[in-house]
Amino acid sequence: MKNQFILWVSALLALALNTAAVQAQVRYTTEDKKAIKAYEEGADLMRVRDLSGAEQAFNRAIKVDPRFVEPRVYLAEMEEMKGNDQAAIDHYRVVLSVAPRLHPMAQFHLADLEFRTGQYDAAEKNYTAFLEKELDPQRKEKARLGLDNCAFARRALQQPVPFEPVNLGPGVNTAQPEYYPTVTADDATLLLTRRIKAEDERIGEQEDFFVSDRGADGIWGPSRGIRSVNTERNEGAGTLSPDGRFIIFTHCAFLDGSYGPGRDGMGSCDLFISRRIGDRWSPPQNLGTPVNSRNWESQPSLSSDGRTLYYVRGTQARDGVRNTDIHMTVLQADGTWSAPEKVSPNVNTPHQEESVQIHPDNRTLYFSSNGHPGMGGLDIYMSRKQEDGTWGQALNLGYPINTGADENSLLVNAAGNVAYFASDRPGGFGDLDLYSFELFPEARPQPVTFIRGKVTDKTTGKAVEADVELYAVTTGKLATAAYSDPQTGEFLVCLPTGTTYALNASAEGYLFYSENYDVPTGAVEASYTLNVPLSPLTAGSVIALRNIFFNTASYELLPTSNAELDKLTALLKSNPTLRIELGGHTDNVGADAANMTLSDQRAKAVRDHIIAKGIDGARITAKGYGETKPVATNDTEEGRAQNRRTEVTVL
């Protein structure tokens, strides 16, 4: 609001200077000397920034001559600045009735004000009239957007969407502003930004992070600050990984351009990352180039697979307003981020986009914008990723979620049925509070569930820090990834439902772990916890490769095996002295001799694939065991599936 006031004052001063330059050349719209004297007195007061005195002088001028246009232009700007929209409208209407060509932008400002106050017929009339005589392409584009806004708002008011917001309560909200919420996949931990009074009086106010945990009764507990992340500078607008173990957030420079002890920055605001180990957060690290630049980077959102980062980048415009767009960058195999790219023009516009969230389904993007048809100001929109990877048209979430004011800070939970947002609506605890509401079905993302797991040493039972990845079996594409906590071994991952996933967990000094799981369609939470025992890289250790697939009664490897085969190849490359046996196993269906032959052929097929990837064949032996070493009963289909396997034994 402070910045908005500065812009208004700048606009008024520019108007005053422009008026002074043309006064000697342009005749006034009045000949009354008393009115002219009052007006010129007001213009002089404007140039010395005495807005109150100027307003009084302009009012005296129009009292003498109500049809005096020049002071009404100033008064319209002043009333709009104070939020007195109807008073500003009345002034502009007089201006246009008396001298429609004297101030061309008056008609555009009038249309904006009429739209904002719900006078859609009048606004459409003035937008249309402005378009007919305006030549500037950017102004014409804004007027066309105004017409689209009128049409949308009229429809939206006639078809309101369900919306019943509930305050998150005193554990989360205070007398200070709370905004930019983010939650873990299990909806149990909430991270928020709070604006507080700074200890340094030169700063005035600053932003810090606070965390609240949901109790068993569903009530959010008292919020607490994050000591190792919060500083005396601004930290805010964070994004949590689904398990809550990584936070990427915005940190802004101080007045002198510095970022504070232990932190280096590149622009006015940069993105930093911190990792939680146990109950402690690591010292934040700047994400560096190419994510950060000399521009303004903020409001990040990390995809559930931990590989794609969406965020807002702004550049400083001539009028002091940041032009903000949503960018994305991808974490590459070497650990660096790709060159950021703007998201589709179906999302970004020539206006402002901000407050982005990529839902854990990795297909639904929520964001705020004032560049798409809406209710006015910043509205909240969604866009769905299409099958070809492009983003669909932006869809406005509708009224009363969106109003004529600015709406942002929307976050949708992993289940897709609850949304969180910030609002200063009456009845809160003070200023902006955080609320939740049930999201209507048409605005929901693809259903996503979360699965918990624990990685341990198979021999000692101790926790192991491991890289846990899950691939969609049908496509072989990475669906999600996480790191298990080094102190507890626990991890949590987010997954779209209705798919079979191949799990692969790996850690230095261990054989990787392989398993696959079905996640039922519409599951809210998987009914099992994944126990992931890792076998140390010692002679005799054995793992079953559960994600190696063959055609029925064949030793032809299916493409869905590639992810697992790549993991095995990587294990052998990173441990050059490792020698293994590949053992093929079948169930008891069919003749013993045929099963023995098939199992031997399958083991050799895996060996041949690994050798083709550059591994010395002398390090790999292959042997078929047929049906001689079952690990489960052959009396059930589930048991037979367990017995059909390829095993790796460390030699």
Same domain, 515 and 550: no
Is 475 found in the same domain as 433? no
Q: Are 343 and 391 in contact (CB under 8 A)?
A: yes
Neighbours of 279 (CB within 10 A): 6
Say which residue the tokens 């032996």 belong to: 621
Q: What is the pLDDT of residues 216-245, one digit of tens each?
A: 999 999 999 988 888 887 888 999 888 888
Share of the chain above pLDDT 90, in %: 65
Among residues 428, 443, 458, the one where a domain terminates is 443
CATH number where 49 lies: 1.25.40.10
Query: Which of 425, 443, 461 is the endpoint of a domain?
Result: 443
- Asked if the model's pLDDT at residue 319 lies above 70, the reply is no
CB 293 within 8 A of CB 271: no
Amino acid found at 419: A
Residues 238 and 333 in one domain: yes
What is the model's pLDDT at position 368?
95
Q: Which tens digits make up the pLDDT trace of 488-519?
A: 999 988 888 888 889 999 999 999 999 888 88
Residues 384, 486 share a domain: no
Mean pLDDT of 184-209: 85
Q: Which of 514, 536, 558 is the last residue of a domain?
A: 536
CATH of the domain at 525: 2.60.40.1120
Whether 188 and 319 map to the same domain: the answer is: yes
Q: What is the CATH number of the domain that holds 402?
A: 2.120.10.30
What band does 316 get if pLDDT is binned at 50, 70 and 90? low
| Residue with the larger pLDDT of the pair 320 and 269 | 269
Mean per-residue pLDDT, 589-599: 93
For the chain, how many structural domains are there in total? Answer: 4
272 in the same domain as 292: yes
Please check whether residue 108 is in contact with residue 143, taking contact to mean a CB–CB distance below 8 angstroms: yes
Q: What is the pLDDT of residue 526?
A: 54
Average pLDDT over residues 567-593: 93
Q: Torsion-angle region of residue 574: left (phi > 0), alpha (psi -120 to 50) or beta? A: alpha
Q: Global pTM?
A: 0.84
Give me the numbers of helices (H) and strands (E) for the chain, helices first please.
11, 32
Distance CA 116, CA 104 (A): 20
- Give the separation between CA 181 and CA 409, rounded to whole angstroms: 7
For residues 193 and 408, give the distance between their C-alpha atoms in angstroms, rounded to a whole number. 13
Q: How confident is the model at residue 4 (pLDDT cuts 50, 70, 90)?
A: very low
Q: pLDDT of 394-407, one tens digit each?
A: 999 999 999 988 88
Grade residue 528 by pLDDT with cuts at 50, 70 and 90: low
* Distance separating alpha carbons of residues 356 and 377, to the nearest angstrom: 16
Question: Is 585 found in the same domain as 528?
Answer: no
329 phi and psi, to 5 degrees?
-140, 150
pLDDT digits (tens, 9 = 90+) for 459-494: 999 999 999 998 888 888 888 888 899 999 999 888
Q: Any idea which of 90-99, 176-185, 253-262, 493-502 has the lowest mean pLDDT?
A: 253-262
Distance CA 324, CA 308 (A): 19
Strands 269-277 and 246-252 turn out to be: antiparallel
170 and 306 assigned to the same domain? yes
Q: How far is CA 367 from the centre of its chain?
A: 8
CATH classification at residue 631: 3.30.1330.60
Q: Which domain holds residue 596?
A: 539-651
E strand segments, 317-416? 322-330, 341-342, 353-358, 364-369, 379-384, 395-396, 411-412
**What is the model's pLDDT at position 380?**
95
Pair of tokens at residue 160 = 């309101």
3-state class of 483 per DSSP?
A: strand
pLDDT digits (tens, 9 = 90+) for 12-63: 445 554 554 444 445 899 999 999 999 999 999 988 889 999 999 999 999 9
pLDDT at 9: 44
Considering the domain architecture, whether residues 528 and 580 belong to the same structural domain is answered as no
The phi, psi pair for 610, rounded to 5°, reads -70, -40
Q: 267-293 pLDDT, tens per residue? A: 788 999 998 887 788 889 999 999 999
| Residues 436 and 451 placed together within one structural domain of the fold | no
Confidence of residue 451 (pLDDT cuts 50, 70, 90): confident
Whether 148 and 224 share a structural domain: no
pLDDT at position 88, please? 96
Q: Does residue 614 have a pLDDT over 80?
A: yes
The confidence score (pLDDT) of residue 22 equals 43
- Spatial CB neighbours of 632, under 8 Å, sequence gap ≥ 6: 638, 639, 640, 642, 643
Q: Is the pLDDT of residue 1 over 60?
A: no
Average pLDDT of the chain, as a whole number: 89
Cα atoms found within 13 Å of the Cα of residue 533, Cβ hemisphere only = 9
Query: Read out DSSP for 187-248?
Result: S-EEEEEEEEE-SSTTT-EEEEEEEEEB-TTS-B---EE-TTT--SSEEEEEEE-TTS-EEE
Instruction: Give the mean model confidence (pLDDT) for residues 535-562.
Output: 91
Judge if 130 and 173 occupy the same domain: no
What CA–CA distance (Å, rounded) separates 76 from 241? 48
